[in-house]
Structures are given as C-alpha cells and as structure tokens.
Structure 1
Amino acid sequence: MTDQPARLLTMAEVVKRTGICRTNIYRLIARGEFAPVVRLSPSRIAFLESDLAAWLHSRREGSAALLATLEASRKTPSKPTYAPIHLNQLRHAPANDAGDLYGNTK
C-alpha cells in the first residue's frame, strides 16, 4: 500500500474553498487562528489540504456550539423590564412636576 503525498493548496485555492478573502486569511494567520502555513519561498505560502480540512471542521464545530447556545437562549423567554408604551400615550400624557422622560423639569 502506497501513501499519497500530502497535497498543498495555494492561496487562491484556499480563498475559493473557504470563501474568505486573502486579506482576512492573512489577518487570521497573524493572530494564529488559521490553518498552519507551509512556506515555499520567502514570498510564497501554501497550506496542507488536511490542515485546512481540520481547520474548517473546527470552525463548523464551534459554529454548531454557538448555534446551540443561541437556540437555547431563544427558548427561554425573557420578561421585559419595562411596560410597553405607545408613542401617542407619551404625547398626550398630562404634564407633571417630575419632568419629562429625560429628567428635564419645567
């Protein structure tokens, strides 16, 4: 059984596969948040296909966890901290000495 050599992906292929522009890929690389880089020359980089696949999988796992958290928070209704009021009620409210909504007194 022969092992296939690791396939290297160019930046253009990575942009096409991820949908992320080159600038943002370089930003992610600088922050250490992207797949490891294989430096081919001082001005040329590539990525191992397996590393990129693992990175994409980890992003999907993180997204799934985030979506699960958001779904759970949607299921628990939160009560409003104030009573809803219609704008017309504010316009026709009687004047009082306490001031307006912004604390301005007359």
Structure 2
Amino acid sequence: MEQHQIIRLPAVLARTGLSRSSIYAAISRNEFPASIPLGARAVGWLTSDIDGWLQSRVQLSRSACR
C-alpha cells in the first residue's frame, strides 16, 4: 500500500518557489493540485501531488526548448 505524506503550506512554498497567492490563484485555475482539508483551519498537500506537478513543469519547460 502506498504511503502518503502530507505537507503544509510553508513546505509547498519552499518546494515550488511560488508565493502563497500564486499557489491559490493556480488552484482556482485548476493548474495546481488542490489542498486537502486537515481540520477547521488547516490544509495540506500530498507530496506525490506536488512532486507530480513539479515534474510536469520540468517536462513542459524541456519540450518548449526543442
């Protein structure tokens, strides 16, 4: 069974290099993985979702260079 790790916003910001507002704007445009509600005022993201998003950005940039 696959184990899921959830990270909070500061870790997402550090991994992606994006700002908080950029992340939430991209979520609203369905261009970034949605957060997972963890509690009344807490959300997180699956590391696998963030890693997949990062990989897709790398592939997109590499294909644009060709």
TM over 0.5: yes
Q: Distance in 1 between matches of 2:13 and 2:5?
A: 16
Q: Distance in 1 between matches of 2:5 and 2:27?
A: 20
SS at match of 2:51: helix
Percent identical residues: 30
Unaligned runs of 5+ in 2: none
Query: What corresponds to 1:67 in structure 2?
Result: 65
Unaligned runs of 5+ in 1: 69-106
User: TM-score, normalised to structure 2's length?
Assistant: 0.88
Distance 1:31 1:42, change over 3 A: farther
Cα drift, residue 45 of structure 1: 1.2
Query: What corresponds to 1:55 in structure 2?
Result: 53
Higher RCO structure, 1 or 2 (CA under 8 Å, sep 6+): 2
Amino acid of the residue matched to residue 60 of structure 2? G
Amino acid of the residue matched to residue 11 of structure 2? E
Larger-Rg structure? 1
Say which of 6, 14, 17 aligns to 1:16. Answer: 14
Q: Distance in 2 between matches of 1:25 and 1:17?
A: 12
Say which of 11, 33, 36 aligns to 1:35. Answer: 33
User: TM-score, normalised to structure 1's length?
Assistant: 0.57
Q: Distance in 1 between matches of 2:10 and 2:31?
A: 19
SS at match of 2:31: coil
Bigger strand fraction: 2
Question: For 1:32-51, what per-residue CA distance to the aligned partner results, in whole angstroms no more than 9, with x for missing partners?
Answer: 10023211124221100011
Question: For 1:33-78, what per-residue CA distance to the aligned partner results, in whole angstroms no more than 9, with x for missing partners?
Answer: 002321112422110001110110011111111121xxxxxxxxxx
